[in-house]
Structure 1
């Protein structure tokens, strides 16, 4: 991993995710996850482990999607675990992540439940 900015509070992860995704940095997005993290994506499935998460984001980011920052909901913290969430701008559901404090004081995602919506044709 390079000298990327670390998430020093749980809410930083969402901002860093948006910045890195919009820059097309799949490795940087994956670096926001613990080595054995679990992401509930693709819909109906799971992606397990940082390497698999990076491979998934390489495919997603190849299409150069643009992500908008979303205002986080209040974070719940219990010791070295935190629950972060954001309401999607389209108002459909919510996104939630469990993050864990690392030995250096930074935070990484352990569980990620993104809410991806498929555009409808019309």
Structure 2
């Protein structure tokens, strides 16, 4: 059984954001990583990429060690094309958006493939 199989699965693309918040607030780095495909790409830390579920788990262990609290953010409308979907949420601080590409798995659940949690402001040259 993989880490992904041990956790509640996202039955809709929008479920991933809720599960992310729940698992992050519980300090569960493995649970957060289970929301990603094995070879997923996370654009975090800012300006860098973290590639692969195991690297994402290791990153979240470090982030969650500081016990941050994540507030739920209402999703923007999801765009679905076949087995791919684009999900997004507007950050509560009003700075841009967060966007993810998710893919339907063979069992009908959804996992993140690409995750852009922060967008650099082009006006600031970042």
Normalising TM by the smaller chain, what interval? Answer: over 0.9
- Compute the RMSD of aligned alpha carbons: 1.3
Q: Provide the rounded CA distance (Å) in 2 between the counterparts of 1:60 and 1:6.
A: 23
TM-score, reference length from structure 1: 0.93
Question: Which structure 2 segments of 5+ residues have no match?
Answer: 121-126
Q: Secondary structure of 2:6's partner?
A: coil
1:26-45 to 2 correspondence within 5 Å? 26-45=29-48
Size of the aligned set, in residue pairs, is 117
Alignment partner of 1:17: what SS? helix
Runs of 4+ in 1 over 2 A off after TM superposition: none
Indicate the residue corresponding to 2:112 in structure 1.
109
Deviation at residue 115 of structure 1 after TM alignment = 1.4
Shift, 1:116, TM fit: 7.7
Gaps of at least 5 residues in structure 1 are 118-122
Aligned counterparts of 1:7 and 1:38: Cα–Cα separation in 2: 18
